[in-house]
Amino acid sequence: MDAEITTLLQECDTLRAHLSAMRPLPAEALKKIEDALAIEYTYESNRIEGNTLTLQETELVVNEGVTIAGKSMREHLEAINHAEAIDYIKDFAHNGMEISERTIKEIHALVLHGINRENAGRYRSVPVLISGSRHIPPQPYLINKLMEDFMIRYREMEGEKVHPVLIATYLHDELVRIHPFIDGNGRTSRLLMNLYLLRNGYVIVNLKGTDEAKLAYYTALEVSHIEKHPEAFQKLVAEAEIASMHRYLSILGGMD
């Protein structure tokens, strides 16, 4: 394994151990912190996909039911749906259920709820192209087999005791590569990645939606899909997990 990735994973584990030592955390304070972080995650994840709601607008839409003038119904639904999908992955992680294709379809159904009723939670039946990418997603008739193989490989990685952050990265990377849905693949992939991280005692990775961060994110995925080198994406996710852990611990007063 790349020495830099090994070092990053060791830091992830040190921070995870630090967080574990602080548990159980005060429930009421923890809920307020996690709710605020969930709004930030919803804002950034949607911003990656072109949603123009600001962080404050996202909070008002999700928590206050406010309608923002000049913003589309889709943008409102994307915020509400993503917040509900975060609740879903938190509950799922807490209950320790096995991740399956059904899990992925349920996350996707939440992401596209009320936006695309026909395709929410269903694999695509048409070919697609990803704007700005050289990667051509597989033809629709291949998707069922690819998704089966995807789940088999995921379980093999667990059996091989691959580091949880690398498994989470693989879940995101491979789901985006297969691109099984007509829309909502990015959000679903990031939610699946974070579901796995939560299940294993880590915190949600909040990949940013700034122009610079988005370019780095898409470039790393492109290198993985076209050149078959996932290391850049693994580093990006591990660094983002470390940043999220530091922020989480600093809010809790668990960092100097």
Distance CA 92, CA 85 (A): 10
State how far the Cα of 66 lies from the Cα of 113, in Å rounded to an integer. 19
Interatomic CA distance for residues 72 and 53, integer angstroms: 10
Peptide bond into 180 cis (omega under 30): no
- Alpha carbons 90 and 96: distance in angstroms, whole number: 10
User: Looking up tokens 């320790």, which residue turns up?
Assistant: 96
Phi, psi for residue 71 in degrees, rounded to 5: -105, 145
The two three-digit tokens of residue 33, written as one number: 């912190």
CA neighbor of 176 nearest in space, from 127, 139, 225, 210: 225
The residue annotated as part of the active site, out of 82, 163, 172, 179, is: 179
d(CA 167, CA 36): 27
Residue 1, number of CB atoms within 10 A of its CB:
11
179 is annotated as an active-site residue: yes
Confirm if 80 and 61 have CB atoms less than 8 A apart: yes
The CA–CA distances, whole Å, from 153 to 38, 133, 171, 173, 195 equal 30, 25, 10, 13, 17
Catalytically annotated residues: 179
